[in-house]
Structure 1
């Protein structure tokens, strides 16, 4: 194959990707980041102070009121560990589809790592504790507290830390399958925790298939 043909194929692929990314993908989004922020702030004001489990139930209930069956009912038995970017925590999948995921994520004892470089925009609503963020070139940490929103733009990278107990509601909007290698790499090449790998694969695939059946991609 000569370089001319290769350049034509590359141009077509990039044009299709640009069209899908700019005009098709955003039409699949159902979650409004401002609505989620309002739900978080309202729930923080209602839930008993210090009762994180009650806060999870409150947020999940409000999300289901707005988004219906697109949100999985909260179940304490459906949490799973997550290792990614050298950080370890746990997560509960509330929604997963090709274009979006919505999870509870956090740790009871603290963690630190690399955000990853993702083909999605990430919204991180702090529910408990603090998240510390290091922007390259800034010698001071950016600190997010309960009720705050940390936005990581697609393609950008940061170092982050949850110094002690910290939990958040996390929304990602973009090409979610493109984020999965980052989420699985530590398990496959470091921890070798294949039980968690199987559990994560099952719950993620289940949520994505159920979303697709509802016509949500």
Structure 2
């Protein structure tokens, strides 16, 4: 093996990745985390507590008013189960592209698991219930309630729990395709729920293709 050529190749690859990650990727983002937080808080203020479905419609409508066709219209038939990091919930995809996804995610009965380690920042805006988070070395949980946002920074890891009913608006910004193995591995190697796998692949692929056709990567 020619180690000089290998080192040159690795140097080029790493330099290209650094350039794309630092200078190109951030230019692809269209969602402003602060704008999303404002939409969540404003929606919570006007939708009666307990009417979660109405809250989903309200947030989706406000998102479409700001981001147009980059947001899929809310449809109760388009939810799907999701198993990842030993946690189980359900999700509705509002947007998916190479650099971002925006979903509703949650569970009616509670769940707990591993956050995963991702090449993306993940913003979790609590809509209903509570999310409990365990940082390594901290004996006390961090508790997020409706209107709060939990930021999981790229490369970091936590344990999380939704002790009972909990739903959130979730934004991820980073290299989204690299997150997909975490989101699908439990289905492929544990639950073997191929119907959910096909449904997830269909809705994710459809959203990403539609985004690309609009020039959103």
Q: TM-score range by the shorter chain?
A: over 0.9
Q: Which residue of 2 aligns with 1:91?
A: 91
TM-score by structure 2 length?
A: 1.00
SS of the residue corresponding to residue 206 of structure 2 reads helix
* CA distance, structure 2, for counterparts of residue 14 and residue 23 of structure 1: 14
Mark the runs of 5 or more structure 2 residues left unpaired by the alignment: none
The 5 Å alignment of 1:22-41 reads 22-41=22-41
SS of the residue corresponding to residue 74 of structure 1 reads coil
CA RMSD of aligned residues (A): 0.4
The 5 Å alignment of 1:187-206 reads 187-206=187-206
* CA distance, structure 1, for counterparts of residue 23 and residue 170 of structure 2: 24
* CA distance, structure 2, for counterparts of residue 76 and residue 29 of structure 1: 27
1:214 aligns with 2:187: no
Superposed CA offset, 1:161-202 (max 9, x none): 000000000000000000000000000000000000000000
The 5 Å alignment of 1:160-175 reads 160-175=160-175
The runs of 4+ residues in structure 1 deviating greater than 6 Å are none
1:147 aligns with 2:151: no
The 5 Å alignment of 1:35-184 reads 35-184=35-184
* CA distance, structure 2, for counterparts of residue 98 and residue 47 of structure 1: 32
TM-score by structure 1 length?
A: 1.00
Q: How many residues align structurally? A: 217
Mark the runs of 5 or more structure 1 residues left unpaired by the alignment: none
